[in-house]
Structure 1
Amino acid sequence: MPIQHTSVNRRLLSLSFWIIFALFLIWDWQASPKPDLRKEPPAIALGSGQIILGGHCANPQ
Structure 2
Amino acid sequence: MAKVNPAEFARDVRREVAKVTWPTRKETGVTTAMVFVMVVLASLFFLVVDQVLAFAVRMILGLGA
- TM-score of the superposed pair, with normalisation by structure 2: 0.51
Of the two structures, which has the highest relative contact order with CA contacts closer than 8 Å and spacing of 6 or more? 1
Larger radius of gyration: 2
Q: Does 1:11 align with 2:45?
A: no
Percent identical among aligned pairs is: 6
Listed as ranges, the matches of 1:26-41 within 5 Å are 26-32=52-58, 33=62, 34-35=64-65
The answer for unaligned runs of 5 or more in structure 2 is: 1-26
Equivalenced residues, count: 35
Listed as ranges, the matches of 1:47-58 within 5 Å are none
1:2 & 1:20 partners in 2: Cα distance?
A: 27
2:34 & 2:44 partners in 1: Cα distance?
A: 15
- TM-score of the superposed pair, with normalisation by structure 1: 0.54
Name the Cα RMSD after superposition: 0.7
Post-superposition offset of 1:8: 0.4
- Cα deviation, 1:8-32, whole Å, max 9, x if unaligned, reads 0000000000000000000011100
* More helix as a share of residues: 2
